[in-house]
Structure 1
Amino acid sequence: MEFRSAEELCRIGSLKWTGIKPADGSDVLGAWVAEMDFGTAPCVEKVMVSAIQDGLLGYNPTWLAPEVSEATAAFQKKRFGWDLDPKAVRVAPAVLPALEAMIQYLVRPGSPVIVPTPAYMPFLTIPPALGHSVIEVPSLHGDAYPGGWTLDLDGIKAGLEAGAGLVILCNPWNPVGRVLTEAEMRALQELVSRYDALVFSDEIHSPLVLGGRDFVSYARMGAEFASHTITATAATKGWNIAGLPNAQVIIPDEGLRERWDSICQEKLPHSMSTIGALGSIEAYTNGDEWQREIFEVIEGNIRTVTEALAPTEIDFRPPQATYLTWWGFEAYPQFGDSPASVLLERAHIAVNAGITLGADYSKWARMNLACPPKVAEEMLSRVLDVL
């Protein structure tokens, strides 16, 4: 695989490389938003270019959604062993509109929403915008837990006792990179079922599980899981086509699916990206080889960072999935209450501020390692220089 230099990536001008600038306006190393610096799979590119050449640039053809559903189910079977009925798959323009529809039309009106933190930033901002307060549940952290993080089930229970109607689950977990175990999910299910709540399971990072690990979807665990769960996934993160938004909503439970179809589906924006959906079908069907190549790069970057940070007191756990990583700077006063600001101004690295992922994480930052190895090495060098 050939890599572009940091200078080339700045010139190309993706959001990741141009969306955040220091006060002096100079170029930065882009390491924040969930984009990869590798383009997309050649087979995906070929299908999308062919569609453009054919003029397939309008609204979604009637045959497109069924083909997306078939490809999604086939991918879930091939990659994860889930025998998913294509009839359980619906299409959406993106994951977040599906979450918005669920909160607006399926969750008890006005009930709080539980968000285990650290969390993907919109999970903390969308519910309040729709009239639902957020109960942040900081997760348990330390060497005693697999991957350094686990759900605080007592905290989640307290939120459910307080009347929460929804738990937002992110699996694989952005930003800590955990793949939840079946034991963790079963413990969560028992609580959610006891308190008659719902689960929104964001599984958009599941195509990015690393190291050959197993991944089990929450709703796949059994009827008692599926009966209260809306699952959302997409190929947009795994094959780097987020600018062509399309997603899939998986609802194996017939009763919940009927509620979704009668209320939510018609409330979603009317179309996904036609080009993006065609790309997703191809990604799910023939995109494995390219992913194996990028996994080698991402895993190599993770090893480089893990080894370099081992002698330091930066809190870093190598992710089990995804290229997003979570760095704790609590031991270093020079990073203050906003490591992201320090890294931007002193190291010219653009990262996500930890405070946006949870109130308890002001001294943390989220960094993206889906980049050329030389960029990862330069980013690491700049962080260590600040130390």
Structure 2
Amino acid sequence: MTFNEVVDRRNTRSVKWDLTEQLFKDKEILPMWVADMDFQTPKPVIDALVDRASHGIFGYTVTDEAIHSIIKEWLSKRHDWEIQTDWLTYSPGVVPSLHTIVEALTEPGDSILIQTPVYPPFYDVIKKHDRSIVTSSLYLQEGRYEIDFEDFEEKIQNVKAFILCNPHNPVGRVWTKEELQRMADLCTKHDVLIFSDEIHADLIYAGHKHVPMASLSDKVANRTTTCLSPTKTFNIAGLQASYIVTPESEMKKKIDAQFGLQGINMLNTMGVTAIESSYAHGEEWLDELVEVLDSNKELLMKRMHEETDHIQIIEPEGTYLVWMDCRGLGLSHNELKEFMRTKAKVGLNDGASFGKEGEGFMRINIATPPQTLNEGIDRIVEAANNHRGNGSN
């Protein structure tokens, strides 16, 4: 399989493809929303899953020292982060992990800071456990989102914890070591815990480097718990396997105990197989994938810049999710959603679902073969120019 091959995902119970008509009320919608890829998983992973399936028995399955070690090696090689295997806790996914961490390490009534616009489940993992949301808005400057450190410091003084998104979904920033250190110093100064969602850590474009927050120093590590997974990296989200890295032993005990209260103490058989095979044999595929995503990113930016004046692309530094500034269309946000659905006929993520700062924006998924991406761009450009007049550059 090449990254140019279009694989028909319909009738596979795909959330992205099979729920599109139900969600967008139109069977002609091209889905470019939910965060999985239209590329087949690396062949060594498929082979490992087929081999495991051929055994024919799917009993309770452990995450043993071999799995621990392969995660340790991956984080060392890809991210220069040396962890201990006894820091690991396994979970079905990063969102369940965040729910559990919030329950384990904070109390009802505590305040938790997030940097908005941000991944919508961050709001839920705070609100649903009777914690209070405190927001610090990122600001857009010359096509790049920045942290308002004055606001961040003011807000961080009055919270119990901070949920970091790095790389940031949806704005695509890969926070620099200097930015991370500055945030970490403020969290240390005000005794704030850090819950770091780093699920997109492996999907980084040339010129940028992912730095795990907990890798900065022992002092930072001892207040940080990090959520990671190969599922975004290798397109195996449906296998539901992730892990948490918690260096501080008392924090880890509380997290493990909270999982115990939910009856969660192991992964599914195929998830375990996928973690091992993807990290052991997927690196070459991943390097090629990042080149493909980079090419798709450049294609999107070039075509939008050349073919319409009405939509600006916020260039991502990581992830395959791209933030589009659609304010030039002159529509209210509800009108924008309807415009993309009924005029462009493209299924995108609603920018306002990421916070009020996302009004006038939409999120597009570019992890798809270039011919599919081009079709999506064709639809958006044509609709935009018909709406505002053909004001291309």
Under a length normalisation based on structure 2, what TM-score does the superposition of the two structures give?
0.91
Task: Report the alpha carbon displacement of residue 18 of structure 1 after superposing the two structures with TM.
Answer: 2.5
Task: Report the alpha carbon displacement of residue 182 of structure 1 after superposing the two structures with TM.
Answer: 1.0
In 2 relative to 1, CA 341–276 (structure 1 residues): closer, same or farther, beyond 3 Å?
A: farther
In 2 relative to 1, CA 142–200 (structure 1 residues): closer, same or farther, beyond 3 Å?
A: same
Contact kept? 2:111, 2:159, Cα under 8 Å? yes
Choose from 151, 154, 158 the match for 1:158: 154
Question: Which string of whole-angstrom CA distances, capped at 9 and with x for unpartnered residues, describes residues 150-203 of structure 1?
Answer: 222222223233x32111101111111111111111111121112211111001
In 2 relative to 1, CA 345–240 (structure 1 residues): closer, same or farther, beyond 3 Å?
A: same
- Give, as a single letter, the amino acid of the residue that structure 1 aligns with 2:66: E
Question: Which string of whole-angstrom CA distances, capped at 9 and with x for unpartnered residues, describes residues 204-232 of structure 1?
Answer: 10111122632210000001211111101
Choose from 170, 173, 177 the match for 1:175: 170
- Give, as a single letter, the amino acid of the residue that structure 2 aligns with 1:364: F
Contact kept? 2:144, 2:315, Cα under 8 Å? no
Question: Which string of whole-angstrom CA distances, capped at 9 and with x for unpartnered residues, describes residues 127-149 of structure 1?
Answer: 11110121222102112xxx701
Residue equivalent to 1:200: 195
Residue equivalent to 1:251: 246
Residue equivalent to 1:352: 349
**Between Structure 1 and Structure 2, how many residues are aligned?**
379
Contact kept? 2:349, 2:363, Cα under 8 Å? yes
- Whole-Å Cα distance in 2 between the matches of residues 349 and 236 of structure 1? 25
Residue equivalent to 1:266: 260
- Give, as a single letter, the amino acid of the residue that structure 2 aligns with 1:366: R
Contact kept? 2:109, 2:131, Cα under 8 Å? yes
- Whole-Å Cα distance in 1 between the matches of residues 223 and 338 of structure 2? 40
Q: What are the residue-to-residue correspondences of 1:1-387 with 2, within 5 Å? A: 1=2, 3-5=4-6, 8-10=8-10, 12=12, 14-21=14-21, 25-61=26-62, 64-143=63-142, 148-161=144-157, 163-211=158-206, 213-261=208-256, 263-268=257-262, 269-311=264-306, 312-334=309-331, 336-387=333-384
- Whole-Å Cα distance in 2 between the matches of residues 23 and 233 of structure 1? 31
- Whole-Å Cα distance in 2 between the matches of residues 385 and 92 of structure 1? 44
- Give, as a single letter, the amino acid of the residue that structure 2 aligns with 1:29: L
Contact kept? 1:338, 1:363, Cα under 8 Å? no
- Give, as a single letter, the amino acid of the residue that structure 1 aligns with 2:258: C
- Whole-Å Cα distance in 2 between the matches of residues 335 and 345 of structure 1? 15
In 2 relative to 1, CA 338–284 (structure 1 residues): closer, same or farther, beyond 3 Å?
A: farther
Contact kept? 2:34, 2:365, Cα under 8 Å? yes
In 2 relative to 1, CA 205–218 (structure 1 residues): closer, same or farther, beyond 3 Å?
A: same
Contact kept? 1:114, 1:136, Cα under 8 Å? yes
- Whole-Å Cα distance in 2 between the matches of residues 41 and 158 of structure 1? 45
- Percent identical residues: 26
Contact kept? 2:196, 2:213, Cα under 8 Å? yes
Contact kept? 2:225, 2:244, Cα under 8 Å? yes
Task: Report the alpha carbon displacement of residue 11 of structure 1 after superposing the two structures with TM.
Answer: 5.2
Contact kept? 1:204, 1:234, Cα under 8 Å? yes
Contact kept? 2:24, 2:347, Cα under 8 Å? no
SS at match of 2:114: strand
Q: Could you list the runs of 5+ residues in structure 1 that have no partner in the other structure?
A: none
How much is the aligned-residue C-alpha RMSD, in angstroms?
2.0
Contact kept? 1:175, 1:325, Cα under 8 Å? yes
Question: Which string of whole-angstrom CA distances, capped at 9 and with x for unpartnered residues, describes residues 208-263 of structure 1?
Answer: 112263221000000121111110100000000101101111012334334434x3
Task: Report the alpha carbon displacement of residue 13 of structure 1 after superposing the two structures with TM.
Answer: 5.3
Contact kept? 1:136, 1:358, Cα under 8 Å? no
Contact kept? 1:198, 1:229, Cα under 8 Å? yes
- Give, as a single letter, the amino acid of the residue that structure 1 aligns with 2:39: F
SS at match of 2:358: coil
- Whole-Å Cα distance in 2 between the matches of residues 18 and 318 of structure 1? 29
- Whole-Å Cα distance in 2 between the matches of residues 240 and 189 of structure 1? 31
